[in-house]
Copies of this chain bind each other. A is one copy, B any other.
Amino acid sequence: MNYTKEDLLTCHEKIKPYIHRTPVLTSQALNEMSGAEIFFKCENFQRMGAFKMRGAAHAILNLSNEQKRNGVVTHSSGNFAQAVSLSAKMQGIKAYIVMPSNAPQVKKDAVRGYGGIITECEPNIDVRQATTDKISEETGASKLHPSNQVDVILGQGTAAMELLEDHPDLNVIMTPIGGGGLVAGTALAAHFFGKNCKTIGGEPFEADDAYRSLLSGKIESNETANTVADGLRTVLGNHNFPIIQQHVDEIIRVKEDEIIAAMRLIWERMKIIIEPSCAVPFAALLREKEKFAGQKIGIVLSGGNVDLGNLPF
């Protein structure tokens, strides 16, 4: 598919009633520490606490009326489950959410709180996919993918669009890379709305499939994914990978202790709550700060849904 500037503009107009225009925060302390001028786009303040609301709202809005009557289905134990549930509720349709039986109670409660209809299944990816397919066949619900679907990718790109509206002369925008939807959407937004604005992704060494995929030219998987950044354990897909190949300038990998230290710095200095995955691009900036010195850097703070009873520090 060829993406255009108009695709992003249309998407943004459509989803505006369903999302917050999140604030952009700065921190003198973190600027001094990094040597760059950083603009944090606070998607941790987004509805349901993460950027995923943008893509979910857009994907549901673009369903036909007949499709909407049958609802939507997805499998997720994380932010996308909440995003689909809340978006569906706001648009008055049903959301079936397939969750692994060992998902934390707090996440099940959050999905139920947004009106999602949960089906529990064995915690392995094949069963989750099969359960999703079965529900879709039985109910006619449209399947939604958290990162590898055109409407989702465009939706996620609107965070960077807003950031560039507020700060048009950014040199770089950085995001974490999990399934690839956010970084792909961001790269499109930087391409169409930035002034030579680069897109750089941050990824844990422990789940560096995207880094390796760019090197090899094909989608790589992770043997293991032992990272505190639990939102980044997934791999790229056929819709977002070509965009990443074309428009993402670089992927910087970071260690686990760097992720935790970056998360703690943002908590302590900015007094805002971000989840571990969200700290990865800032960790990447600190790791290679010579590269960013004196530049204007946008960072998409992807989300703030963290279990306060289980912090990494």
Q: Give the number of copies in the complex.
A: 2
Give chain A interface residues in 259-313, CB to chain B under 8 Å.
Answer: 264, 267-268, 270-274, 304, 308-309, 311, 313
* Residue in B closest to A309 when the chains form the complex, CB atoms: B313
Q: Could you mark each residue 14-53 of chain A with 1 if its beta carbon is under 8 Å from any beta carbon of chain B, else 0?
A: 0000000001010000000000000000001100010000
Residue from B264, B273, B311, B313 within 8 A of A271 (CB atoms) = B273
The answer to whether A308 and B311 touch (CB under 8 A), given A272-B272, A273-B271, is yes
Encode contact with B along A74-99: 1 for CB under 8 Å, 0 otherwise.
00000000000000000000000000
- Tell me the bound Cα distance from A239 to B309 in angstroms: 42
Q: Which residues of B contact A268 (CB under 8 A)?
A: 308
Inter-chain CA distance A23–B272, complex, in Å, is: 13
Q: How many positions in chain A have a CB within 8 Å of any CB in the partner chain?
A: 18
Q: B23, B49, B304: which contacts A23 (Cβ < 8 A)?
A: B23
Contacts of A311 in B (CB 8 A): 308, 311
Determine whether the beta carbon of A313 is less than 8 Å from that of B304. no
Per CB-CB distance, the 5 closest pairs between chain A and chain B, nearest first, are: A271-B304, A271-B273, A44-B271, A272-B272, A45-B271
Known: A267-B308, A268-B308, A308-B311. 10 other contacts (CB 8 A): A44-B271, A45-B270, A45-B271, A264-B308, A267-B273, A271-B273, A271-B274, A271-B304, A272-B272, A273-B273
21 contacting pairs across A/B (C-beta < 8 A) = A23-B23, A25-B45, A44-B271, A45-B270, A45-B271, A49-B271, A264-B308, A267-B273, A267-B308, A268-B308, A271-B272, A271-B273, A271-B274, A271-B304, A272-B272, A272-B273, A273-B273, A308-B311, A308-B313, A309-B313, A311-B311
